[in-house]
Amino acid sequence: MPHVQLRDIVCYYEEAGSGPPLLLIAGLGGHSGLWSPQLRALSLSRRVIAYDNRGAGRTSAPDKPYSIAAMADDARQLLDHLEVEKASVAGYGLGGAIALHLAAEHGDRVENLVLIGTTATPGGRQRLVTEGWSAARRSSLSREQASALTAPWLYSSALLSDTALRNQAVESAANDPHPAHDHAYARQAQAFLAYDATSRLESIEQPALVLSGEEDILVDAADAAALAEALPNGTHQQLPGAHAGLVEHAQAYAAAILEFLAEPVPAG
């Protein structure tokens, strides 16, 4: 499997398809496998690059402070390694924050933005929940108990009401073959909670699609719409599901991303 040395970490990444590059950035504690349900659809017309952030999956997990700026620079260095001058970038949650910073700091490397379950800075509810998740990872809870704790914040009421589907979602998360180390999860959470892109949004001129789940209680429609409105060429679209709608309704998200990238004209 491909790895590359990036400054102080060894980064794991995967590629599929050919065409204009599309970089996929996972969320808090997540890895490139997050995008597996969308990979086939997206790679039919795109060179899709999915990687594991520092501290996640098969990428190095140094136990020292992380920052969104450093994680965005990891993404830039990966693009350099792959000789990609410019890419569309899609980020989920924490990955959306990384994508925003990459666009603000290295705008010449970003063609278009897709921001999923993302805000310019964590809101009050998201901040408290993230702190709770981080504390749970450092507690004596089992992986399955920690996964059950996060599930109500991630999935739709329909999935949570179905015992078989709920158990399957919890067990899948608990049995992740490449889980983030607890210390690295906490480092990612600290970086996410410290990030605030509010003052930089006006400078991000790339066409941007902000996607949110209709039942998302971490990033509700008003938060997502506010982000889209603050971006000069932002558009907000709601899709089925909750915060993990990207997983629960993979086809709908893949279709929305592809439709946007087919003709990403400025909203203004």
Angle (CA) 61 67 73, round 5°: 85
Phi, psi (degrees; rounded to nearest 5) at 91: -130, 145
- Identify the CATH number of the domain defined by range 3-262: 3.40.50.1820
Cβ neighbours of residue 2 under 8 Å, at least 6 residues apart? Answer: 12, 13, 14, 15
The reported pLDDT for the residue numbered 263 is 63
3-state secondary structure of 170: helix
- Residue found under tokens 């078989």: 164
CB 37 within 8 A of CB 247: yes
Beta-carbon count within 10 A of 156 CB = 21
Dump pLDDT digits (tens) for 3-31: 999 999 999 999 999 999 999 999 999 99
Whole-Å CA distances, 165 to 84, 168, 250: 39, 5, 15
CB 56 within 8 A of CB 26: yes
The reported pLDDT for the residue numbered 31 is 97
Label residue 117 exposed, middle or buried (CB < 10 Å: 0-12, 13-18, 19+). Answer: buried
3-state secondary structure of 29: coil
Angle between helices 124-137 and 143-154 (to 10 degrees): 170
3-state secondary structure of 102: helix
CB 97 within 8 A of CB 193: no
- H/E stretch holding 112: strand 110-116
For residue 5, list its beta bridge partners: 10
Dump pLDDT digits (tens) for 93-135: 999 999 999 999 999 999 999 999 999 999 999 999 999 999 9
DSSP letter at 85?
S
The reported pLDDT for the residue numbered 98 is 98
Take residue 240 and report the two structure tokens written for it.
Answer: 């089925």
For residue 115, list its beta bridge partners: 91, 210
Report CA Rg, the chain: 17
Residues lower than pLDDT 50 in the chain: 265-268
Q: Which residue type, as a one-letter code, is found at position 117?
A: G
For the whole prediction, is pTM greater than 0.75?
yes
The reported pLDDT for the residue numbered 266 is 46
Q: Which of 259, 247, 265, 246 is nearest to 115 (CA)?
A: 246
The reported pLDDT for the residue numbered 222 is 93
Pairing of strands 47-51, 21-25: parallel
The reported pLDDT for the residue numbered 1 is 64
DSSP letter at 35?
G
